[in-house]
Amino acid sequence: MSLLESQPPVAAATARPGPRCADFLERRRAVVANGVVNGAAVFAAWCQGATVVDLDGHQYIDFAGGIGTLNVGHAHPEVVQAVKLQADQFLHTCFNIVMYPGYIELAEKLAERVPGDWPKKVMLQTTGAEAVENAIKVARRATGRSAIVAFQNAFHGRTYMALALTAKGPSYKDGFGPFPGDIYRAVYPTLYRSGHADAEAASRAAFADLRRQIETEIGARQVAAIIIEPVQGEGGFNVAPASYLHALRRYCDEHGIVLIADEIQSGFCRTGKWFATEHSEVQADLYTLAKSMGGGLPIAALVGRAELMDAPVVGGLGGTYAGNPLACAAALAAINVMEKENYPAQAEQVGRLLRNRFDRWAQALDIVGDVRGVGAMVAFEVVENKLTHAPAAALAARIVETCYQRGLILVKAGFHGNVIRFLGPLSIDPAELEQGLDILGIALAEVAGEAGAVHHG
């Protein structure tokens, strides 16, 4: 039984009058393209913080957070108020035609917050994929080169250049080619299943492979940019070791290559720092940002070295809805909340609670493999058993479905769809977080018992 057909939690609040979830599910099947994926059959009626209530009155704890867009939580009052105030003034002008203060104020805030000991400039967009597309445009224009190096398990978006950079072919690319050319794929420095003794060994091997590939297959003088997620999102929360990022920074400096950090999912305090590269103190030349920057509204940004950002000619960058006034207002409010409420510290606190549970489950259950991540960007792999490390996508799907039936919304990740990740609001109440983890723990135990994979070691 798929999630779209499974039953919601038995306990329910009072349902609101009008159409129910089942009614809208039928209407969805009639008018929404099959390619648009959905998880659980939930139609939101009201959301606040880390709580979602559907049209039938069922209440859920949200560990998905709009796939990482809601670090400040659903409908944060300050974000909502900022949007309302902006809506009373005007909704849209197109910044390319009539400018407005919010765009400038947000650009200034981002230039201040994003790592980099040099003058920075900013371009706002609507989605993370747009930020990635423009990062490649800027890098190619600034260097006069064409080759781009991305990584295994990378996810950079669904538009054509972003999709070419994305590594998950069967799910996202099947039948959509041809894709933009001069894209190359490097090994991401992961430890689990790598055969290396530790993260440093994995880092050295991965960098040696990257250098070999560039220097024998491409030519360093042909490479415009290397784009990397310091913590992979859709790829399964793989964390690039600091030593690898330092080696990458040195190599890019040596060969005049633009280093692009995709912080679309890892940014805005998710990892316990404002941006994940701060853990290594590596500064990228360009940063792509989106997701939680807008507090729930669609907005993205490309932030980087001023001389690179100024390389495209006037008119070379733009977009009708790029940096929409409502989204700028929401982003400024969300960033203000993160600053005054010390969201990096909140992420660390949430991460400690997650790690404590995840590590305990890894000790007790054979289906819980590698536990990894940083700050509150933490995940674990669901495997057939610890001896083979074989990915267990079906078991992961069963865990997600069982959690949904008990009132917890989850989102999977990884090439095999076997990684359970936490992307819930950083503002989540500790008691609500513990309640959600209780549900996840029960689901894990049930599925492990069904699979005969309880660890007795």
What tens digit of pLDDT does each residue of 51-77 get? 999 999 999 999 999 999 999 999 999
pLDDT of amino acid 220: 97
* pTM reported for the whole predicted model: 0.94
Max CA distance (Å), the chain:
66
Which pLDDT band, with edges at 50, 70 and 90, does 16 fall under? low
Q: If you average pLDDT over residues 126-142, what whole number do you get?
A: 98
Q: What percent of the chain has pLDDT over 90?
A: 89
Q: Is 165 exposed, middle or buried (0-12, 13-18, 19+ CB in 10 A)?
A: buried
pLDDT of amino acid 362: 96
Torsion angle defined by CA atoms of residues 365, 50, 402 and 416, in that order, rounded to the nearest 10 degrees: -70
Determine phi and psi for 420, rounding to 5 degrees: -95, 115
Instruction: Single out the residue of 231, 327, 330 nearest to residue 273, CA to CA.
Output: 231
Least confident of 36-40, 245-249, 369-373: 36-40
DSSP E strands, 280-363: 286-289, 300-305
Residue 9: is its pLDDT beyond 60? no
The dihedral through the CA atoms of 236, 352, 410, 132 has a sign that is: negative
Contact 41, 1 (CB under 8 A): no
Question: DSSP secondary structure string, 246-279?
Answer: HHHHHHHHHHTPEEEEE-TTTTTTTTSSSSGGGG
For 227-247, how does the pLDDT look when each residue is reduced to its tens digit (9 = 90+)? 999 999 999 999 999 999 999
pLDDT of amino acid 7: 52
Rounded Cα distance between 173 and 158, Å, is: 9
Which pLDDT band, with edges at 50, 70 and 90, does 435 fall under? very high
Rounded Cα distance between 291 and 324, Å, is: 15
Greater model confidence, 456 or 389: 389
DSSP 240: -
Contact 87, 105 (CB under 8 A): no
pLDDT of amino acid 171: 80
Which tokens hold the place of 398?
Answer: 């069963």
Question: DSSP secondary structure string, 345-404?
Answer: HHHHHHHHHHHHHHHHHHHHBTTEEEEEEETTEEEEEEBS-TTT--B-HHHHHHHHHHHH
Residue 457: is its pLDDT beyond 80? no
DSSP 3-state of 177: coil
Domains assigned to the chain: 21-29+40-62+343-451 (3.90.1150.10), 77-340 (3.40.640.10)
Which pLDDT band, with edges at 50, 70 and 90, does 18 fall under? confident
CA geometry: angle 369, 392, 155, nearest 5 deg? 85
DSSP 180: -
In the block, residue with structure tokens 């038995």: 10
- How many CB atoms neighbour CB 178 within 10 A? 7
Contact 316, 141 (CB under 8 A): yes
Return mean pLDDT, the chain: 94
- How many CB atoms neighbour CB 419 within 10 A? 26
Rounded Cα distance between 423 and 327, Å, is: 21
For 261-311, how does the pLDDT look when each residue is reduced to its tens digit (9 = 90+)? 999 999 999 999 999 999 999 999 999 999 999 999 999 999 999 999 999
For 170-194, how does the pLDDT look when each residue is reduced to its tens digit (9 = 90+)? 889 999 999 999 999 999 999 898 8
Which pLDDT band, with edges at 50, 70 and 90, does 12 fall under? very low
Residue 453: is its pLDDT beyond 70? no
DSSP E strands, 49-96: 51-54, 59-62
What is the amino acid identity at position 107?
A
What is the amino acid identity at position 264?
I
Q: Is 128 exposed, middle or buried (0-12, 13-18, 19+ CB in 10 A)?
A: buried
Which tokens hold the place of 158?
Answer: 């669904």
Rounded Cα distance between 209 and 149, Å, is: 12
- Give the DSSP H/E element, type plus range, for residue 184: strand 183-186
Q: If you average pLDDT over residues 426-455, what whole number do you get?
A: 91
Q: If you average pLDDT over residues 365-373, what whole number do you get?
A: 96
Say which residues have a Cβ less than 8 Å from residue 56's Cβ, sequence separation at least 6.
8, 12, 15, 20, 21
Greater model confidence, 387 or 354: 354
For 318-348, how does the pLDDT look when each residue is reduced to its tens digit (9 = 90+)? 999 999 999 999 999 999 999 999 999 999 9
pLDDT of amino acid 17: 73
